Amino acid sequence: MAFSAASISNTSRTLSSPSTTFSQLNNKISPPHFSSSLSLSPRSSPFRRGFFSQWGRRESLRGHVSSTVKAVLVDESKGKVKLLKGDMWSVHKFGGTCVGSSERIKNVADIILKDSSEGKLVVVSAMSKVTDMMYDLINKAQSRDDSYLSAVDAVFEKHRLTAMDLIDGDDLASFLSRLHHDINNLKAMLRAIYIAGHATESFSDFVAGHGELWTAQMLSYVVRKNGLDCEWMDTREVLIVNPSGSNQVDPDFVESEKRLEEWFSRHPSKTIVATGFIASTPQNIPTTLKRDGSDFSAAIMGALVRARQVTIWTDVDGVYSADPRKVSEAVILRTLSYQEAWEMSYFGANVLHPRTILPVMRYDIPIMIRNIFNLSAPGTMICRPAENEDGQKLESPVKGFATIDNVALVNVEGTGMAGVPGTASAIFGAVKDVGANVIMISQASSEHSVCFAVPEKEVTAVAEALKSRFHEALNAGRLSQVAVIRNCSILAAVGQKMASTPGVSATLFNALAKANINVRAIAQGCSEYNITVVIKREDCIRALRAVHSRFYLSKTTIAMGIIGPGLIGATLLDQLRDQAAFLKEDFNIDLRVMGITGSRTMLLSDVEIDLSKWRELVKDKGEVADLEKFTQHVHGNNFIPNTVLVDCTADSSVASCYHDWLRRGIHVITPNKKANSGPLDQYSKLRALQRQSYTHYFYEATVGAGLPIISTLRGLLETGDKILRIEGIFSGTLSYIFNNFIGTRAFSDVVAEAKQAGYTEPDPRDDLSGTDVARKVIILARESGLKLELSDIPVQSLVPQPLRASASVEEYMQRLPQFDSEMARERQEAEDAGDVLRYVGVVDAVSEEGRVELRRYKKDHPFAQLSGSDNIIAFTTKRYKEQPLIVRGPGAGAQVTAGGIFSDILRLASYLGAPS
């Protein structure tokens, strides 16, 4: 038989040695006789006279010899051209997408032509999809599928059409001749596979590598056509690798360097276009570099020539701080250390495979990731970090985040493990025996348990193997269980500066806790390049966004849903509109309103609602209101980890949802008093849930609109003070009425004036009944630790008994003057005593009671000196016993109430990580 293993890869490029039979390459195939001319036609590569130019080079940063040297020299004793190495060389790698069409190959040639480096070594993949097409040929032939012949013709046609669009004349004729020759040989090989029904790995590797050969040849012709000296290289003549198991190979750098120098002595050129992905074994049998083979080829070639830089051209702008499909605000990283790059790639980030980094790392050769479709993008540099980085101290210690999905945890636990040598070895030996890949390991120092993560598809086999291996220990009780926790994901934070920055772990776990995410397992190596946590799969994206926002961007982004776009809600939306840009720029607080709902209509947005025209959008694009759908939409958004619902209603049915929202990890802010003044048991459950989780419930505006009454009370209690009495004018409406109920004015006239000015509710009885004040009193009483129900508060109503059941507001207002004399008498009696009337609420913490009533105060009392609709609250405490602590200010109106809600929103942002 005339076909040989050496004929597949021979350093002379004329692959025709008849000494080795084809069966030595593929001992399971007995093909028909092949022509002895099965080869890649030798390429004419005459020695180029005059290629003895001086190549200048800069002082190397990596310890190379520094001087102006000749790039190519003649060894006078042997007459050979020698390859000099160093910074004069730049290496470019173009993947299949970059050379996927004739137009794209032309773009690649332009990049090569514009590179000012003295020496350019270009590594190319097969055209996009071609490698898959080649493996498909093999699979069809093995399956005895006759369509492999038409599939070969499709491969031929793809490259014929591409070549005809790129080159012409003798170059085109030469390439098409080689292409015809290769395709005919492929058909003969595939026919042999078809007959035998099997192909060895080396045979498959040889077939699969043709795509790179054709791309390299076409590109070299295009570069040469543009006037640049160029040769193409079949890297099977140069790259020698040894199989290392696990579907990987190890480069033989010594032999490869020797063969590169021999190749260069025959084909000296300033520009070399080399095939990626393919290589040879020491026995000259074709093989491939397996996963990410072309990137690996470029890194090896860069190391062999000691290049200044290796540029990997791809279809993305660089390496992102997180997967941009999961975190819309992920940013391009300008630099990564070698260690950071391989840590991120291990955890699934779209970065180079670790083995690609190792060859260049040996010589401190930087790798640049660039986007061929966006040349203006600066890309990402992977290199050794500079020793002096004092100017970058504000940079986040965490460079990026990555996740691995579809993971399961295995926990082997038992008191019999502690102090027993070899237990961990036995555990992982059993895992190795079933061929499972351990992604992460965590073990407590007590040795009571070993926890590790494996791909979910492998966990059943792992669990069965462990139960079989430790059958006796489980029965004897030395091991208590082999537990499996499914539906997990791994989140990793990566950064070389983590090792020198205190508090990184604390910040990470704090961000996860505040996003209401539970951590199931933790691992961190002593190098501190990464912190790895295992979380529920359903929490993965939310966790990724939470930590990315907290660390990398230092921006607190909150998804908001506004319930009740009435007077207060609308005012809040307008305030948010006016302040959004300022908060984002100056405080890194990004507040995004994702939904607005009233009782009938709601407006939802997948990104955020344009608050400059929210009223028009509600009218034009609103849909039927559905509170549960609204909640799901705002909380289930695709890119924001934190959610807050702002209830601007006075609706008890909305308030009844708070507990469920908090339980689901949704923060709640409200001026609605119904929840905190409702049944005591429900209030207690709500506050207990609030204290047990990192979900926040803020309600400052329930008592004093924009006044800091709740926060003042909490500050007193938290610092150890004891509340004795809280007394105040809590209603801006009633404050206005009694501030203006003076002289000879009728009470009904003042009420009508307040209603006309918008100070009262649409029905003034809602204010005059005292119920609203009673709710504020019960809220403050409960905040002070008193367990009171609303029904425990005696309330003096200012609505005359006969008018409490009036049919309409109009009837009430018409009949109210009939009762003016009674209020006039109260005022006269107070004035005769030198007092004024004020409607107040009182919390008596000593006697554990509260009340709402009309009381008299001396004219020099602070309560007597109010104006307009101001509120005033006096805190009498153990510390402030002689002189009560007074809080005074506007207590009514949409602007101040909305401002109080806004203040709570900003307080929430601060709790979630915004700068103070």
Q: What does 257-290 look like in DSSP terms, one character per residue?
A: HHHHHHHHHHS--SEEEEESSEEE-TT--EEE--
> Is the overall model pTM greater than 0.85, yes or no?
no
**Residue 345: strand, helix, or coil:** helix
Residues above pLDDT 90, as percent of the chain: 62
Q: Report the alpha-carbon distance of residue 528 to residue 400 in Å, rounded.
A: 14
pLDDT, tens digit, 9 for 90 and up, residues 860-870: 999 998 888 88
Task: Kindly report which listed range (24-33, 213-222, 463-472, 662-671) carries the lowest average pLDDT score.
Answer: 24-33
User: Considering only CA atoms, which of 825, 702, 812, 819 is closest in space to residue 766?
Assistant: 812
pLDDT value for 890: 85
Average pLDDT over residues 738-750: 93
pLDDT value for 586: 83
pLDDT value for 789: 94
The burial of 169, by beta-carbon neighbours within 10 Å (0-12 exposed, 13-18 middle, 19 or more buried), is given as exposed
pLDDT value for 202: 82
Neighbours of 567 (CB within 10 A): 14
Statement: residue 516 has pLDDT above 90: no
- Token reading at 743: 């002289």
How does DSSP assign 591-659, residue by residue? EEEEEEE-SSEEEE-SS---GGGHHHHHHHH-EE--HHHHHHHHHT-SS-SEEEEEE-S--HHHHTTHH
pLDDT, tens digit, 9 for 90 and up, residues 782-838: 999 999 999 999 999 999 999 988 778 999 999 999 999 999 999 999 999 999 999
Q: What is the DSSP letter of 351?
A: S
- CA triplet 896, 897, 903: central angle to 5 degrees? 85
Please, which pLDDT band fits residue 246 given cuts at 50, 70 and 90?
Answer: low
The burial of 394, by beta-carbon neighbours within 10 Å (0-12 exposed, 13-18 middle, 19 or more buried), is given as exposed
Q: Report the alpha-carbon distance of residue 177 to residue 83 in Å, rounded.
A: 31
Q: Report the alpha-carbon distance of residue 863 to residue 838 in Å, rounded.
A: 7
- Phi then psi for residue 423, to 5 deg, are -65, -50
Neighbours of 77 (CB within 10 A): 6
- The answer to whether residue 114 is catalytic is no
pLDDT value for 856: 95
Please, which pLDDT band fits residue 361 given cuts at 50, 70 and 90?
Answer: very high
Q: Which of 776, 858, 859, 881 is catalytic?
A: 776
How does DSSP assign 721-776, residue by residue? --EEEEEEE--HHHHHHHHH--TT--HHHHHHHHHHTT-S-SSTHHHHTSHHHHHH
Task: Kindly report which listed range (287-301, 347-361, 656-670) carries the lowest average pLDDT score.
Answer: 347-361
For residues 344 and 402, is the Cβ–Cβ distance under 8 A? yes
Statement: residue 694 has pLDDT above 80: no
Please, which pLDDT band fits residue 639 given cuts at 50, 70 and 90?
Answer: low
pLDDT averaged over every residue in the chain: 85
Statement: residue 104 has pLDDT above 50: yes
- Residue in the structure block whose two tokens are 């073990």: 443
Statement: residue 30 has pLDDT above 70: no
**Residue 301: strand, helix, or coil:** helix
User: Considering only CA atoms, which of 365, 328, 367 is closest in space to residue 345?
Assistant: 367
The burial of 787, by beta-carbon neighbours within 10 Å (0-12 exposed, 13-18 middle, 19 or more buried), is given as exposed
Q: Report the alpha-carbon distance of residue 496 to residue 482 in Å, rounded.
A: 35
Q: What is the DSSP letter of 553?
A: I
**Residue 378: strand, helix, or coil:** coil
Give the CA distances from residue 559 to residues 224, 604, 638, 643, 720, in Å, rounded to whole numbers and listed in that order.
57, 12, 10, 5, 36
Give the CA distances from residue 715 to residues 165, 721, 784, in Å, rounded to whole numbers and listed in that order.
78, 9, 11
- Phi then psi for residue 74, to 5 deg, are -100, 125
How does DSSP assign 96-142, residue by residue? TTTTSSHHHHHHHHHHHHH---SEEEEEE-PSTTHHHHHHHHHHHHH
Please, which pLDDT band fits residue 80 given cuts at 50, 70 and 90?
Answer: low
- Token reading at 25: 């390459």
Q: Report the alpha-carbon distance of residue 311 to residue 308 in Å, rounded.
A: 10
User: Considering only CA atoms, which of 266, 291, 299, 293 is closest in space to residue 279?
Assistant: 293
User: Considering only CA atoms, which of 484, 105, 98, 8 is closest in space to residue 314?
Assistant: 98
- Token reading at 383: 């290199």
For residues 856 and 830, is the Cβ–Cβ distance under 8 A? yes
pLDDT, tens digit, 9 for 90 and up, residues 598-614: 999 999 998 899 999 99
User: Considering only CA atoms, which of 533, 555, 538, 534 is closest in space to residue 546?
Assistant: 555
User: Considering only CA atoms, which of 621, 580, 583, 589 is closest in space to residue 604?
Assistant: 621
- Beta strand 835-844 pairing with 723-729: antiparallel
Amino acid 431 reads V
For residues 892 and 733, is the Cβ–Cβ distance under 8 A? yes
pLDDT, tens digit, 9 for 90 and up, residues 178-201: 999 999 999 999 999 999 999 888
Please, which pLDDT band fits residue 125 given cuts at 50, 70 and 90?
Answer: very high
Statement: residue 37 has pLDDT above 50: no
Higher pLDDT, 39 or 663: 663
